[in-house]
Amino acid sequence: MTCDPPICPDYPNLRAVAGLVMADGRVLRAGHFYRSEALCTPSKIASAAIAALGIRHVFDLRGQGEREAAPNGWWRAQGVRIDEWDLIADARNAGAHWQALVEDPQGEGGRRMMMATYRALPFAMLPHLGRLFDALGEGDGAVLVHCAAGKDRTGIAVALVLAAIGVSRAAILADYLESGDRENPAVVAWTRALLERRLGAPIDAQCLADVTGVDAAYLETAFAAIDTEFGSLDDYFARAGWGSDARAALAERLAG
């Protein structure tokens, strides 16, 4: 996949959610919606590049422990609104997916953990999703969604927004998979250290790649879980309080 040059080389997964075509042919405009890994202590040069994006509302999808270890102090100093969703805690409440990695850190445990995580995330996200839709519809500056790596929790949140406004599944998948081409080595190293500390043992290279990478099967697992539980995406979004008329209005707001 060919990626646009990074907005900020220090944070390769910081990018606009834009240029995607909706079902009616309209195109998602730039300047409204961004996604990224955590941007906690940007350099002076990075700070200038990020500030120029006009972001006024940040959705931080990391858990409490992650936020305490790497606070969003820079964003707070910019005076932006920060909305915090603890999706890891919510997803763990929905299933003991971490156990898969504990049981098999040298084989398929990482992949099985990720599949379980993606099955749980749509349900963990459901109580929060309306706030993201509201922020995107208000038009009070750009919106940023981020977690630690910007690929799993952020990937599902962005995929659900795109699905809600009529972007094709193929385009949603391509946007999701782009994170694989924007891997941040610092995030991979942090993830390895975190996992090995929790496991008390080294983690296999393939197992680590399964955890730090993206995979079409992960995203499809999330959508399949929605279909199984709710019957359709329309019913899922209705449960979040966003019926077809509200989603059409959001699409109008974000389209070119």
Q: Which residue has the tokens 């504990």?
A: 102
Residue 143's SS3 state is: strand
For residue 150, give the nearest of 231, 19, 61 by alpha carbon: 61
Task: Compute the distance between CA of residue 61 and CA of residue 89 in angstroms, rounded to an integer.
Answer: 10
- Catalytic-residue membership of 40: no
- Scanning the chain, the segments in alpha helix (DSSP H) are 44-51, 64-69, 73-77, 87-93, 98-103, 109-138, 153-164, 169-177, 185-199, 205-212, 216-230, 233-239, 244-254
For residue 186, give the nearest of 15, 21, 42 by alpha carbon: 42
* Catalytic site residue from 3, 8, 40, 147: 147
Tell me how many degrees the CA angle 146-3-83 measures, rounded to the nearest 5. Answer: 10
Catalytic residues: 147
